Amino acid sequence: MDTVSKKKRSETMRAIKSKDSLLEKRLRAELKKRGYKFTTNVAKLPGKPDIVFKKYNNVIFLDSCFWHGCKSHCRFPSANRRYWRAKIERNRIRDKEIAKT
């Protein structure tokens, strides 16, 4: 059983960003400050990398603790635990496959 209402859970999950997170914004600002040219969230590339350096043929993925199952910080919601464990595990498997490409 969830500890918050369905409406509150929906608001919480909707607030989780898939791009332009604080971490991404800070990294992009630092890269710009150092003079790097890059593009962001390129959907045509496998895994939709967060930052792409075309000149160097290189990409950066910023994997958040929750969605990518960080062993140190990922805390699974108490409700639907089986669903969330499976979801995060699929994300981790996909991350490994994308890293091979």
Surface-to-core class of residue 5, CB atoms within 10 Å of its CB (0-12 exposed, 13-18 middle, 19+ buried): exposed
Q: Give the count of beta carbons closer than 10 Å to the beta carbon of residue 52.
A: 19
Q: Give the count of beta carbons closer than 10 Å to the beta carbon of residue 61.
A: 13
Mean pLDDT in each 10-residue stretch from start to end of the chain (101 residues)?
Answer: 79 78 92 97 92 96 85 83 91 90 76
Domain ranges of the chain: 12-62, 67-101
What secondary structure, in 3-state letters, does 39-61 show? EECCCCCCCCCCEEECCCCEEEC
Distance CA 69, CA 75 (A): 8
- pLDDT value at residue 3: 78
